[in-house]
Amino acid sequence: MSIPLLNRRPSSGLGNVRESMADPARNIDWILMGCVIALNIFGAFIVYSASRPQLTRLGLDPYSTVQRQIAFLIISAVAMVLTMTIDFQLLRGRAEFLYGATLVLLVLVLIVGAVRGGARLSFDLGFFSVQPAEMAKVTTLLMLAGYLSDDRLDYVPYDTFINSLLIMVAPSVLILLQPDLGSASVLVACAMGVLLVAGVRIKYIVMISLFALISGVVAILSGLVRGYQLDRFKAFINQNSDDDALQNIIFQVKNAKRAVASGGLFGKGYLQGPLTNGSFIPVQKTDFVFSAIAEQFGLIGSGLVLTLFGVILWRIWRTAQMTRSQLGRFICIGAFTMILWQVFQNIGMTLGIMPVTGFALPYVSYGGSHIVAGAVLIGLVQNVHMRRLR
C-alpha cells in the first residue's frame, strides 16, 4: 500500500491531476488537528509550570520534564501521522493481531512490569516506559469496532453483545489486576459508547452497568481493589473526613480545589500560582494538571481548555455522523466516549465532583504512553475523516 500523504506531489499551477475531492490528504480535519495541537502546546507550558518548582528545589534542570514532554509530543505526532496514513479498513484486518498482542503484553506487565507506587503499570525501557494499558485503549477499540461492524446490522444481537462484552472485559480485568482502575474504566466507557451507538438494547446497557457495579463490589470484597483505591472512594464520599488514612487524598483534592478557586476569573498569571509553585498538589503535572491551568489562567484558561475539548468532541462526533463506514463510525464513537470519559473524570476529580482515579488529562498532562495513545486515537479519527467519502 502506498502512502498517499507522503507520495503526494506539491500542488502546482492548475493542480495535481491526482488530486480529487476524495483524496484523503485533502480531507484532514484541520479544526480537530488544530485543537489537539493547541492543547498539546498549552499542555507543555502547563507541564513546565507544574514541574519547575520541584525540580528547582531538587537542584535539577527545571526544563528537564518539559523537554521529555516535547519529545513525547514529537513521537506522538509521528504516531498520529502513521496512523492517519494507514487506511482504517486495513487496520481492521490487523485488529485481532493487535488485540491479541495487547493481551499478551498486559499479562507480561503483570509479571515483569516495573513496580511504581505498588502497581505494575508499565515496562521500563530505560529512557521511557510503556504502559500497555494505554495501548489497550486503541487496540480494544479497533477490535470492538471491527467486530461490531462485521455484521452490518443496525442493532446488536444478544450473542454479539456478549462477545463484545468479552472483548472489553478481557483487557479490563488484566488492567484491573495491575491495578489501574482508571484505565479499566476508560475501556468500559468506550464499550458502552460503541455499543450504545451500535444499537444495543437499553436493557443490555443496564446489564453492563449492573455488571460493572457487581464486579466493583466483588472486586472490593475480594480485595482485588487495593486499600488506596477504596480510600479514594471513601475520601470522595466524605470530603471532610478526619480519618488519618484519607488525609493525603483529601489534602490533595482540597488543595486542587483551592488552586482552581484561587485562580478566579483571570488567574494568578503564568508561573505565578502559589499552590502550583509550592508543589502543594501531588502528581500535579499528570493527574491534577487542570488545577495548574485553573490557578494560573483562571476561568479564562480553564474555559478555553474545556472549549477545546468540546470542539474536539464535536469534530469527532461530526466525523462519526459524516462517515458512511460503520467501522469508521464505531471507531469515532469509541474515541469520542473515551476522550469524553477521561476529560470528565479527570477534571471532575480535580473539581471534587468525581472520586480520585489516577489518569491523565488527554493531550495536556505530562506522560509518554497516554500522549501517544491519545494521538493515535486522533489519528484514527482523522483516518476516518480523511476517507469518509469513500
Partner 1 sequence: MAAVNSRGRMTTLGGIAVALLSLLVVRVWFLQVVNAESMDERAQAIRTRTVRIPPERGRIFDSQGRIVADNERLLTITVDRETVKDDSVRAELFSRLSGPLEMPAEDIEIAFKSLRNDPLADIPLKVGVSEDTALFLRERGEDYPGVDVREDWKRDYLYAPLASHVIGFLGAIRESQLSLYLSLGYEPNELIGQFGVEQTYESELRGTPGYIKYEVDTLGNKLREIAYEPAIPGQDVVLSLDLAYQQFAEQALQTQLKVRQRTEAGKVYLAPGELDPGYAEVNYYKAPAGSVTMMNWATGEIIAMASYPTFDNRWFNAGISGSKFQSLFPNTQDPDQSILVNRAISGRYNLGSSFKPFTAYAALNSGQLPGGSTYRFKDEGTYTLESIDRSLCQQGVKCVFKNAVCSSSGSPCRYGWVDVEAALAVSSDAFFYKIGEQIMTQRNTNDILEQEVRKFGFGSSTGIDLPYEFSGALPSLALKKKLAESGAITEESARGYYVGDNVQFSIGQGLLSATPVQVARAYSVLASGGNVLRPHVVRYLLAPGTPDSKPGYADIENGRIIRDLRTSQVISTVDMSGDRREPILRGLKRVITGPGVTSDYYHKTTGEKLFANYPYEILPIAGKTGTAQGFNNLPWNDSSAFGSFSLALNRPFTVVAYLEKSGYGSQAAAPVAKCMWLAIAGQWRLPEVFPAEPLDVASTAVAKSQSMPNPQCLSTPYTGLRE
Q: Which residues bind partner 1 (CB under 8 A)?
A: 53, 56-59, 153-155, 193, 196-199, 254-255, 257-265, 274-275, 277-280, 282, 294, 298-299, 302-303, 306, 309-310, 313, 317, 320-321, 326, 329, 333, 336-337, 340, 343-344, 347-348, 351, 353
**Helices and strands (DSSP H and E) totals, the chain:** 14, 3
Nearer to partner 1 by Cβ, of 146 and 263: the residue is 263
In this structure, the number of other CB atoms found within 10 A of the CB of residue 320 comes to 22
Judged by DSSP in three states, 166 sits in helix
Which residue is associated with the grid cell 486522533? 378
Length of the chain in terms of residues written: 390
State the minimum distance, in angstroms, from the CB of residue 326 to partner 1.
8
Grid cell in block for residue 271 = 508561573
Residues 6+ apart with CB under 8 A from 87: 1, 383, 387
Q: State which H helix or E strand residue 293 sits in.
A: helix 289-322
Rounded distance between C-alpha atoms, residue 270 and residue 277, angstroms: 10
State the minimum distance, in angstroms, from the CB of residue 318 to partner 1.
10
State the minimum distance, in angstroms, from the CB of residue 313 to partner 1.
5
Amino acid letter, 63: Y
State the minimum distance, in angstroms, from the CB of residue 205 to partner 1.
11
Nearer to partner 1 by Cβ, of 206 and 261: the residue is 261
Using a 10 angstrom Cβ sphere, with 0-12 exposed, 13-18 middle and 19 or more buried, the burial of residue 341 is buried
Residues 6+ apart with CB under 8 A from 20: 26
State the minimum distance, in angstroms, from the CB of residue 306 to partner 1.
6
Nearer to partner 1 by Cβ, of 224 and 262: the residue is 262
Amino acid letter, 264: G
State the minimum distance, in angstroms, from the CB of residue 4 to partner 1.
28
Grid cell in block for residue 57 = 528545589
The answer to whether the CB of 325 falls within 8 A of the CB of 390 is yes
Rounded distance between C-alpha atoms, residue 7 and residue 18, angstroms: 11
Nearer to partner 1 by Cβ, of 93 and 269: the residue is 269
Nearer to partner 1 by Cβ, of 148 and 386: the residue is 148
Of 301, 318, 217, 221, give the one whose Cα is nearest residue 265.
301
Nearer to partner 1 by Cβ, of 177 and 283: the residue is 283
Nearer to partner 1 by Cβ, of 36 and 320: the residue is 320
State the minimum distance, in angstroms, from the CB of residue 153 to partner 1.
8
In this structure, the number of other CB atoms found within 10 A of the CB of residue 237 comes to 10
Nearer to partner 1 by Cβ, of 79 and 347: the residue is 347
Nearer to partner 1 by Cβ, of 199 and 216: the residue is 199
- Rg of the chain taking only CA atoms, in angstroms: 21
In this structure, the number of other CB atoms found within 10 A of the CB of residue 12 comes to 7
State the minimum distance, in angstroms, from the CB of residue 135 to partner 1.
25
State the minimum distance, in angstroms, from the CB of residue 202 to partner 1.
10
The answer to whether the CB of 384 falls within 8 A of the CB of 328 is yes
Strand partners, 115: 120
